[in-house]
Chain A
Amino acid sequence: MSETSANRAGQALALEIRQLSFAYVGRPVLDDVSLSVAAGEFAVLLGPNGAGKTTLLSLVTRLHDRRRGEIRIGGYDVRRQAVQAHARIGVVFQQPTLDLDLSVAQNLAYHGALHGMGWREAKSRALVQLERVGLADQRRTRVRRLSGGQRRRVEIARGLMHSPRLLLLDEPTVGLDIASRRELVDHAHRLCAEEDVAVLWATHLIDEVRAADRVLVLHRGQLLADERAETLIARLGVDTLSEAFDLLVGTQEAACE
């Protein structure tokens, strides 16, 4: 019924969410959200603060679980096949999660161990990822001495160590300068193109969306749009994504009143 072409081709979707609803102490946070992200696709989850983006990611990573609906990662149900599903996601959380007093290498070794890697394997995988983000020569540095942008890059390297098929990033550019932000967005796009990793990038910053990106507009727990940014702009007959966003949100608010 809601099978997509990717599924029919025999390749499971990186992320598939069906009719997801979640309420927090009686207050609805997510209302019947359905979306999917294909392998190698870059999808932006766009919404203002409080739209439900972090909640959605927490449900995908199963930090909490009291919800209605279905979530599958690479075809695996996050509840019933939690081990397989978890092994396929890499996460960069909104809050910084590195141990400031430990070195970059120690932080990554910890993550490797949490994914069942031996010491040697974790070390070599960490090196590969650090080289990719240009921080290999900093691996003995304590995280406390890195800049905000460098720390984020370490977290991305960490999120990719176990070769996930889906990378979730929750407002990864908060607090970064313009150059670091652009560099991070570029890096995530390269991952999709070169490694076939699917990326779900949650943000409230419209300027981080590129014309060819899938954009999922989330507002007050409802999904208002799900298409390529340029298609959305053309369909609504506006000039910029910002105008498209205002139009969508305005329509929703009018409908509520």
Chain B
Amino acid sequence: MRVMPWLHCLRGVVGRELLRFLHQRSRFLAALVRPLVWLFVFATGFRMALGVAMTEPYQTYILYEVYIVPGLVGMIQLFNGMQSSLSMVYDREMGSMRVLLVSPFPRWYLLVCKLLASTLVSVVQVYVFLAIAWAYGIQAPPLGYLYVLPALLVTGCMVGALGLLLSSFIRQLENFAGVMNFVIFPMFFLSSALYPLWRIREGSYLVYQIAALNPFTHAVEMIRFAMYQRFNIEAVAISVAVAALLLALAILGYNPSRGMMARKGGGGD
């Protein structure tokens, strides 16, 4: 089997996603403003109320702004993953998903290409955000910015695969509001993105248990440890496993004979 056509296909899908992203400046701006508001407004206010004691992987007492950055990185990726799920629904309404799916390449490969493309878009967003945070004074060790890259790829694939899975059974565009309410907010708030787990446990044991089970918690911890040049094996293992599971389910969801596509019919008449 020749390899080049497969690479051309990947390049094409990734290139299109990046081009579309560059053309949608408002989307880029929104993707950037959201975490910055959290960082500059929310975190500054909370600094007074909430100091963060020494906790892994930090080696000293840290400001709340420092604590919240990995969580906001996760939030960027979460929003991007869901937005690409929105664009899948939108794409399918507009029919361009069909253009992708009638390509002669196997469907699983096309979905993996799509997933990598949306992940790379989220990685670009994250680095721009980290650069602004750096300028603001929130600085991780320089090598941490390199080590965080694989963690970003895994997280991007995890939330992207979740988005793909959702898009295989969400039919209407409007349902993105539902995705916000029932997927993004619970995943973000019920995680270690805003408060360390031990702190949540002091507040509510139930919320703590949910947060400890939330795969997004593990993705955020994986990013947090990587930024400080540490390898949190538990967080990495869970994140990779969840990403693989969600991707498998998404591929099943897009299978023409078994998944949701078959049950829903193809639209039109």
* Residues of chain A at the chain B interface (Cβ within 8 Å): 24-25, 29, 49-55, 58, 61-66, 82-84, 86-87, 89, 91, 93-99, 101-102, 106, 109-119, 170
Given A65-B256, A97-B98, A106-B19, verify A118-B269 contact (CB < 8 Å).
no
In the complex, A96→B98 CA distance in Å?
A: 11
Q: Are B104 and A113 within 8 A (Cβ)?
A: no
What are the residues of chain B within 8 A of A64 when measuring CB–CB?
A: 256-257, 261-262, 265-266
Q: Separation in Å of the A64 CB from the closest CB of chain B?
A: 5
Q: Separation in Å of the B183 CB from the closest CB of chain A?
A: 26
Which residue of A29, A109, A116, A119 contacts B6 across the interface (Cβ within 8 Å)? Answer: A116
What are the residues of chain A within 8 A of B34 when measuring CB–CB?
A: none
In the complex, A93→B95 CA distance in Å?
A: 8
Q: Say what secondary structure dominates the interface of chain B.
A: helix
Query: B204 near A: Cβ within 8 Å?
Result: no
What are the residues of chain A within 8 A of B265 when measuring CB–CB?
A: 24-25, 29, 55, 58, 64
Query: B11 near A: Cβ within 8 Å?
Result: yes
What are the residues of chain A within 8 A of B101 when measuring CB–CB?
A: 63
Which residue of A84, A114, A170 contacts B103 across the interface (Cβ within 8 Å)? Answer: A114
What are the residues of chain A within 8 A of B44 when measuring CB–CB?
A: none
Most chain B CB atoms below 10 A, which of A54, A112, A113: A113
What are the residues of chain A within 8 A of B268 when measuring CB–CB?
A: 54-55, 58, 94-95, 170
Q: Are B8 and A99 within 8 A (Cβ)?
A: no
Q: Separation in Å of the A209 CB from the closest CB of chain B?
A: 19
Q: Are B24 and A101 within 8 A (Cβ)?
A: yes
Q: Are B269 and A49 within 8 A (Cβ)?
A: yes
Q: Are A113 and B15 within 8 A (Cβ)?
A: yes
Q: Separation in Å of the A236 CB from the closest CB of chain B?
A: 26
In the complex, A29→B267 CA distance in Å?
A: 12
In the complex, A94→B267 CA distance in Å?
A: 10
In the complex, A178→B106 CA distance in Å?
A: 39
Which residue of B11, B95, B110 contacts A96 across the interface (Cβ within 8 Å)? Answer: B95
Q: Are B16 and A99 within 8 A (Cβ)?
A: yes
* Residues of chain B at the chain A interface (Cβ within 8 Å): 4-6, 8-9, 11-13, 15-16, 19-20, 23-24, 93-96, 98-106, 110, 256-257, 261-263, 265-269
Q: Are B99 and A86 within 8 A (Cβ)?
A: no
Q: Are A116 and B23 within 8 A (Cβ)?
A: no
Given A58-B266, A63-B102, A97-B96, verify A102-B256 contact (CB < 8 Å).
no
Q: Are A102 and B23 within 8 A (Cβ)?
A: yes
Provide 9 A-B residue pairs closer than 8 Å at the C-beta atoms, listed in order of the A residue. A29-B265, A58-B265, A63-B102, A86-B102, A95-B95, A102-B19, A113-B12, A116-B104, A118-B8
The 4 A-B residue pairs whose C-beta atoms are closest, nearest first, are: A113-B12, A116-B5, A54-B268, A65-B256
Given A65-B257, A101-B24, verify A86-B103 contact (CB < 8 Å).
yes
What are the residues of chain A within 8 A of B96 when measuring CB–CB?
A: 97-99
Q: Are A116 and B98 within 8 A (Cβ)?
A: no
Which residue of A49, A50, A83, A102 contacts B20 across the interface (Cβ within 8 Å)? Answer: A102
User: Nearest residue in B to A29 (C-beta to C-beta)?
Assistant: B265
In the complex, A25→B260 CA distance in Å?
A: 12
Given A63-B256, A82-B104, A93-B95, verify A114-B13 contact (CB < 8 Å).
yes
In the complex, A185→B96 CA distance in Å?
A: 24
Q: Separation in Å of the B205 CB from the closest CB of chain A?
A: 45
